[in-house]
């Protein structure tokens, strides 16, 4: 979408092939519906909190079908917006699956189209492990349109999609278990963030099982999941969020000479060029940094390189990201562990507190913030947070980190009082 529109605005003659719904994973079965569901799930605590503020709240009820119906309506509206954007940009749209038939040729719906440049932006798809009874499990794709909400759910995985859905199910009143084969959630994030989010989610009532690897699923009325250690859990829904694979199967890329990685990802250079000079790839299909704003940025950098004569490499440094679990997590830059590998010495600053909004209630949730500073240059090289609105807060901090701000410059910034965010500019004591 983005590559088509921006390339057309630079004067390129563009055609796009899409065999699904416009907007891709993010709009249809990713970021957008996920965030809507996450809002829905957070209301449960809000109703509870409101009582501490003097509100009389009647018995709250939740209707899953209403949520799904309203979500579907909003997504259909967005699909329409995207389609109109393409038409207005003068992009020719082919509503069919495309295959690459040569370095400069694509087949779409039985028609051969030649082009000077071909861009592969086919995204990724969830994978399921090979297990007995795996046909009884779902992935995030199906979770967005379940007929009914289960009474119990078991989510397998320790990455952001698993945490988000465990929080969604739990918030909507489902008895939820999260099982992960590793020892710490959110691999690749700062280790302390993984530990804190596990503590907070557990405290809210999500049962988390570490070192738990499913061995088989059985349907005996309810679902029965057996783990490798022999332990058996009964549940009503099993969702696997254990990985995604780039969409390159039967795309014809190998025949055109495009080199693929072992996981199927298109191998590209810093300019998103594949091993065939006329074929480029951006987004999840390259399995670099699998996030929507990264995919769209890669698309814009490529359009600039190809059609505006400005060779623009990708820039994957300091990409901020959030996990819309409850509580939220957000991060930018290096984890403490990565910073210790990269720099001779690092200073760590931390804050942990109960947010003002919760202080009149029984809610025990603690907000956690952490800054990672390179001792030699005093640059803030990482900022991490677990707590309400973490994504909204880290987005602003990310600008400072991207610009190379020092700890002294953070300290010289006046806080906005009273907010949680102000803690990022008032951390004075180094962690021992
Ligand atoms: C549950 C979930 C939650 C997520 N949440 C977030 C989030 O909060 N924030 C964030 O930044 N990212 C999030 N992501 C990741 C984000 O959705 C992806 O990084 C992003 O969609 C990648 O964009 P893309 O253009 O590379 O691929 P996609 O969005 O997957 O688009 C690929 C498109 O290509 C089409 N296609 C595939 N093959 C063909 C073919 N042969 N012919 C024609 N069309 C084809 C597909 O139908 C699809 O529309 C989430 C993902 C999931 C699954």
Establish whether residue 251 lines the binding site of ligand 1, counting it when its CB lies within 6 angstroms of any ligand atom: yes
Atom of ligand 1 nearest to the CA of 324: 8
Which two three-digit tokens encode residue 326? 């409850």
The label of the residue with tokens 């790839």 reads 281
Residue 391, pLDDT > 90, answer: yes
| Dihedral pair phi/psi, residue 69, rounded to 5° | -60, -45
Establish whether residue 298 lines the binding site of ligand 1, counting it when its CB lies within 6 angstroms of any ligand atom: no
Atom of ligand 1 nearest to the CA of 1: 25
Best mutation site among 83, 292, 293 for ligand 1, i.e. most ligand atoms within 8 A of its Cβ? 292
| Dihedral pair phi/psi, residue 173, rounded to 5° | 100, 10
Specify the long-range contacts of residues 408-413, CB closer than 8 Å, at least 24 apart. 408/378, 410/371, 410/380
Name the residue with the closest Cα to ligand 1, atom 27.
Answer: 123
pLDDT of residue 172: 98
**Cα torsion through 44, 45, 46, 51, rounded to 10:** 110
Helices 31-52 and 160-171 pack at an angle, to 10 degrees, of 40
- pLDDT tens digits, 285-332: 999 999 999 999 999 999 999 999 999 999 999 999 999 999 999 999
- pLDDT tens digits, 17-43: 999 999 999 999 999 999 999 999 999
Establish whether residue 295 lines the binding site of ligand 1, counting it when its CB lies within 6 angstroms of any ligand atom: yes
pLDDT of residue 53: 97
Question: Stretch 247-254: mean pLDDT, rounded?
Answer: 97
Best mutation site among 36, 98, 107, 122 for ligand 1, i.e. most ligand atoms within 8 A of its Cβ? 122
Which two three-digit tokens encode residue 337? 């562990």
| Strand-strand pairing, 329-333 and 321-323 | antiparallel
pLDDT of residue 14: 98
Establish whether residue 122 lines the binding site of ligand 1, counting it when its CB lies within 6 angstroms of any ligand atom: yes
The pLDDT-based confidence of 262 (bands split at 50, 70, 90) is very high
DSSP 430: B
CB of 123 within 8 A of CB of 2? Answer: no
Helices 2-9 and 64-89 pack at an angle, to 10 degrees, of 20
Establish whether residue 94 lines the binding site of ligand 1, counting it when its CB lies within 6 angstroms of any ligand atom: no
Q: Residue 348: name the closest of 356, 361, 357, 339 by CA.
A: 339
The residue length of the chain stands at 432
Residue 105, pLDDT > 90, answer: yes
Question: Stretch 224-245: mean pLDDT, rounded?
Answer: 97
Q: Residue 323: name the closest of 134, 143, 110, 163 by CA.
A: 163
- What residues are annotated to the active site? 417
CA 237 to centroid of ligand 1, rounded, Å: 24
**In whole angstroms, how large is the CA radius of gyration of the chain?**
23
Name the residue with the closest Cα to ligand 1, atom 7.
Answer: 31
Name the residue with the closest Cα to ligand 1, atom 39.
Answer: 122
Q: Residue 156: name the closest of 239, 222, 219 by CA.
A: 239
Please provide the average confidence, as pLDDT, over all residues in the chain: 97
Q: Report how far residue 421's alpha carbon sits from residue 349's, in angstroms, rounded to the nearest whole number.
A: 14
Establish whether residue 200 lines the binding site of ligand 1, counting it when its CB lies within 6 angstroms of any ligand atom: no
CA 134 to centroid of ligand 1, rounded, Å: 24
The pLDDT-based confidence of 187 (bands split at 50, 70, 90) is very high
CA 280 to centroid of ligand 1, rounded, Å: 17
Which two three-digit tokens encode residue 11? 């004067």
| Dihedral pair phi/psi, residue 47, rounded to 5° | -60, -40
Atom of ligand 1 nearest to the CA of 251: 41
Residues 6+ apart with CB under 8 A from 100: 106, 118, 120, 251, 252, 253, 255, 256, 258, 279
Establish whether residue 157 lines the binding site of ligand 1, counting it when its CB lies within 6 angstroms of any ligand atom: no
The label of the residue with tokens 């830059």 reads 333
Establish whether residue 205 lines the binding site of ligand 1, counting it when its CB lies within 6 angstroms of any ligand atom: no
Q: Report how far residue 13's alpha carbon sits from residue 10's, in angstroms, rounded to the nearest whole number.
A: 9
Q: Global pTM? A: 0.97
Atom of ligand 1 nearest to the CA of 20: 47
Q: Residue 318: name the closest of 331, 330, 328 by CA.
A: 331
* % of the chain surpassing 70 pLDDT: 100
Where does residue 339 rank: exposed (0-12), middle (13-18), buried (19+ CB within 10 A)?
buried
- pLDDT tens digits, 123-148: 999 999 999 999 999 999 999 999 99
CA 124 to centroid of ligand 1, rounded, Å: 6
Atom of ligand 1 nearest to the CA of 125: 30
Q: Residue 342: name the closest of 384, 372, 385 by CA.
A: 372
Q: Report how far residue 307's alpha carbon sits from residue 171's, in angstroms, rounded to the nearest whole number.
A: 47
pLDDT of residue 124: 98
Establish whether residue 119 lines the binding site of ligand 1, counting it when its CB lies within 6 angstroms of any ligand atom: no
Residues 6+ apart with CB under 8 A from 151: 174, 175, 236
Residue 221, pLDDT > 90, answer: no
The sign of the CA dihedral 310, 298, 337, 401 is positive
Tell me: cis bond preceding 207? Omega within 30 of 0 counts.
no
Best mutation site among 23, 26, 82 for ligand 1, i.e. most ligand atoms within 8 A of its Cβ? 26
pLDDT of residue 57: 87
pLDDT of residue 240: 98
Establish whether residue 139 lines the binding site of ligand 1, counting it when its CB lies within 6 angstroms of any ligand atom: no
Atom of ligand 1 nearest to the CA of 290: 19
Best mutation site among 31, 36, 83, 113 for ligand 1, i.e. most ligand atoms within 8 A of its Cβ? 31
- Residue-by-residue DSSP string for 360-429: TSS----EEEEEEEETTT-BEEEEEEESTTHHHHHHHHHHHHHTT-BHHHHHHSPPPSS-SGGGGG---S
The pLDDT-based confidence of 333 (bands split at 50, 70, 90) is very high
């Amino acid at each position: 979408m983005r590559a088509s529109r921006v390339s057309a605005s630079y004067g390129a003659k563009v055609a796009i092939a899409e065999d699904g719904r416009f907007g891709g994973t993010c709009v249809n079965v990713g970021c957008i519906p996920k965030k809507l569901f996450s809002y829905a799930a957070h209301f449960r605590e809000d109703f509870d909190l409101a009582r501490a503020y003097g509100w009389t709240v009647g018995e709250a009820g939740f209707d899953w079908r209403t949520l799904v119906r309203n979500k579907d309506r909003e997504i259909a509206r967005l699909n329409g917006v995207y389609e109109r954007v393409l038409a207005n940009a003068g992009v020719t749209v082919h509503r069919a699956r495309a295959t690459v038939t040569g370095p400069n040729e694509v087949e779409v719906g039985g028609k051969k189209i030649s082009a000077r440049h071909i861009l592969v932006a086919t995204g990724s798809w969830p994978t399921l492990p090979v297990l007995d009874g795996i046909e009884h499990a779902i992935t995030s794709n199906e979770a967005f349109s379940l007929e009914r909400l289960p009474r119990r759910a078991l989510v397998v995985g320790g990455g952001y999609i698993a945490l988000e859905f465990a929080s969604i199910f739990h918030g909507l009143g489902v008895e939820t278990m999260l099982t992960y084969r590793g020892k710490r959630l959110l691999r690749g994030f700062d280790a302390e963030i993984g530990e804190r989010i596990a503590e907070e989610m557990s405290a809210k009532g999500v049962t988390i099982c570490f070192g738990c690897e499913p061995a088989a699923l059985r349907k005996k009325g309810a679902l029965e999941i057996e783990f490798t250690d022999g332990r058996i859990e009964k549940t009503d829904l099993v969702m696997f969020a254990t990985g995604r694979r780039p969409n390159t199967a039967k795309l014809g890329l190998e025949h055109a000479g495009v080199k693929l990685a072992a996981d199927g990802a298109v191998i590209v250079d810093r300019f998103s060029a594949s091993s065939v000079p006329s074929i480029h790839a951006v987004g999840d299909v390259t399995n670099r940094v699998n996030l929507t704003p990264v995919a769209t940025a890669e698309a814009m950098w490529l359009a600039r390189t190809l059609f505006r004569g400005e060779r623009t490499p990708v820039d994957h440094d300091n990409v901020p990201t959030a996990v819309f679990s409850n509580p939220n997590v957000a991060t930018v830059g290096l984890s403490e562990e990565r910073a210790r590998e990269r720099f001779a010495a690092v200073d760590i600053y931390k804050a942990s507190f109960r947010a003002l909004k919760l202080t009149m209630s029984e809610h025990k949730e603690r907000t956690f913030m952490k800054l990672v500073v390179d001792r030699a240059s005093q640059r803030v090289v990482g900022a991490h947070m677990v707590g309400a609105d973490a994504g909204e807060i880290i987005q602003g901090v990310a600008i400072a980190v991207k610009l190379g701000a020092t700890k002294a410059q953070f300290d010289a910034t006046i806080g906005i009082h009273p907010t949680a965010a102000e803690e990022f500019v008032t951390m004075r004591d180094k962690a021992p």
